[in-house]
Amino acid sequence: MTSNFVKRPLYGGAIEISIPERFRDITQFRQVPDHQEVFVDEKSDQSFIVELNEKQSVVDDQAILFHYENLTEELELPKEKSVVLNQRKLTNDELPNFPNNPKYILLAQQKVAKFKESAENTVNLYMLLVRLEKQNTDILIILNDTIEISPASSSKNAQTQTNQSEVEALFLNSIKSFKINDYSLFQNN
Tens-digit pLDDT profile for residues 90-143: 999 999 999 999 999 999 999 988 777 788 888 999 999 999 999 999 999 999
Q: What is the pTM of this model?
A: 0.93
* Band of residue 75 on the pLDDT scale cut at 50, 70, 90: confident
By mean pLDDT, which of 13-17, 38-42, 116-120, 175-179 is the weakest?
A: 116-120
Q: Could you tell me what percent of the chain has a pLDDT over 70?
A: 96
Query: What is the mean pLDDT of the segment spanning 147-156?
Result: 77
Tens of pLDDT along 159-182?
A: 776 688 899 999 999 999 999 999
Q: Could you tell me what percent of the chain has a pLDDT over 90?
A: 71
Cα 150 to its chain centre, rounded Å, is 22
Q: By residue range, what is the domain housing residue 133?
A: 5-188
- What is the Cα–Cα distance from 52 to 183, expressed in whole angstroms? 12
CA distances (Å), origin 52, targets 47, 72, 122, 141, 147: 17, 17, 26, 9, 27
CATH number for 10: 3.40.1000.10
180 by DSSP, 3-state: which?
Answer: strand
Identify the DSSP state of 58. Answer: S
Q: How many domains does the chain have?
A: 1
pLDDT of residue 42: 80
Q: Could you give phi then psi for residue 113, rounded to 5 degrees? A: -100, 145
